[in-house]
Amino acid sequence: MRNSFRILLVLGLILLVAGLGMVSAGNSAPSYVVGAFVSASGPNAPLGVPERDTLLMMAEQINKNGGINGHPLKLIIEDDASDNTSAVKAAKKLIDQDKACAIIGGSGTGPSLAVAPIAEASGVTQISMAAGIAITNPVKKWVFRTAPLDALVVGKLLTYLGANNIKKIAVIYDSNAFGSSGRDQIKLLAPKYKMTIVGEESFASRDTDMTVQLTKIRATGAQAIICWGTNPGPAQVAKNVQQLGITIPLFMGHGIANQTFLDQAGSAANGVVLPAVRLIVADQLAASDPQKKILKEYAAGFAKKFGRQADHYGGHAYDALTIIVQALRKVGDDRAKLRDEIEKTTKLSGIGGVFNYSPEDHNGLTDPCVMITVVNGKWKLIKK
């Protein structure tokens, strides 16, 4: 008998949990429903958490200021746990059950691409925050993005190199998705800038020594080393370059632009040049820069609310919601009208840059980066 009581207890618990889960659904006010699925847990959590927090902060602010034309904004955020299948479930829930007029997500390329066919079939706008080129190339009617394409960032760097008369470059990249995509873009774009790639090496994300690869690169006669990856690998590359006494200038991708890199590389970070988002050098921008005000506001607001620094991942979420809210103000929450209005977005100044969508271009950004360097362990804007 005791045993059966225990089993009943467990059953009761399950039912209780189920019931509670149901209660939180329901509720129907004339509010505008916007859905978001982010990777708040799993390997992509460093992207998803600032995105989620940014969205929450913005929704609170919008509702405090009287909503959108009097309609409160109901923002529903789901965690896809960096998993495609969960992202699909979350998106179907947001679209069919919560009746979202538009959805934001995902944090990573995988979840974004997994949800794209659903957005297309359901006729709901999806704004992705991931960098993978396949998300908006070829253009899908209902899918937009706010993260900059790698090609734009690489282009910015190569333009800078060209202006400094560098013709021979060597590439060392992280063999993860971010690094290999950067390598592909450099290979693709180098001929356009009349550069030759004289050396190409790779490392695994967790490698702790890259002296072998760098020694090989030193022997190639390259005029510049480009390192493309996400922390901690590039910090190690910078340290090894310093230890080997290599004097060839070191350039990096935008993946390292945060405090972690400065902490890990220490004095070896000094002199590294990279294209990066404006957010990390917001207070050094010229007063005439159209983004300066919004960047400083966002950075200050985020730091005040969450007690940590804002980064460009949160920025992608900020831009996605800003674009949707602006369109909602103009045409309301009809899904089709909303999409058409979003496609007409022009000259919208966001965190990532100035957004201009068109029927042929769902990427929006054209100049997402500035060139920065490290001086005495601090990011410094390189003025043209």
Q: How far is the CB of 51 from another protein (least distance, A)?
A: 15
Identify the three-state secondary structure at position 198. strand
What is the spatial distance between Cα 20 and Cα 289, in angstroms, rounded to a whole number?
49
The token pair at 64 is 């405090």
Identify the three-state secondary structure at position 282. helix
Q: What residues between 132 and 161 interact with another protein by CB under 8 A?
A: 132, 134
Q: What residues between 173 and 232 interact with another protein by CB under 8 A?
A: 176-177, 180-181
Exposure of 267 in the CB half-sphere (CA atoms within 13 A): 2
DSSP classification of residue 359: T
Identify the three-state secondary structure at position 59. helix
Q: How far is the CB of 238 from another protein (least distance, A)?
A: 25
- How big is the site for another protein, counted in residues (CB under 8 A)? 41
Q: How far is the CB of 379 from another protein (least distance, A)?
A: 29
Q: How far apart are the first and last CA of the chain?
A: 81
- Is the CB of 117 or the CB of 162 nearer to another protein? 117
Strand 32-38 to strand 102-104: parallel, antiparallel, or no bridges (unpaired)? parallel
Q: How far is the CB of 231 from another protein (least distance, A)?
A: 18
Q: What residues between 18 and 57 interact with another protein by CB under 8 A?
A: 18, 20-25, 40-41
Strands (E), 254-317: 273-276
Q: How far is the CB of 366 from another protein (least distance, A)?
A: 23
Q: What residues between 300 and 359 interact with another protein by CB under 8 A?
A: none
Please say whether the beta carbons of 236 and 219 come within 8 A.
no
Q: How far is the CB of 137 from another protein (least distance, A)?
A: 11
Among 78, 150, 319, 341, binds another protein (CB under 8 A): 78
Helix (H) or strand (E) holding 293: helix 292-306
Segment contacting another protein (CB under 8 A): 76-84, 142-150, 233-241, 291-299? 76-84
Residue whose token pair is 């890199």: 261
What is the spatial distance between Cα 202 and Cα 180, in angstroms, rounded to a whole number?
9
Q: How far is the CB of 93 from another protein (least distance, A)?
A: 4
> Angle 44-46-47 (CA atoms, 0-180°, nearest 5)?
70
Q: What residues between 81 and 120 interact with another protein by CB under 8 A?
A: 82-85, 88-89, 92-93, 95-97, 109-110, 113-114, 116-117
Among 11, 163, 300, 375, binds another protein (CB under 8 A): 11
Residues that bind another protein (CB under 8 A): 4, 6-7, 10-11, 13-14, 17-18, 20-25, 40-41, 78, 82-85, 88-89, 92-93, 95-97, 109-110, 113-114, 116-117, 132, 134, 176-177, 180-181
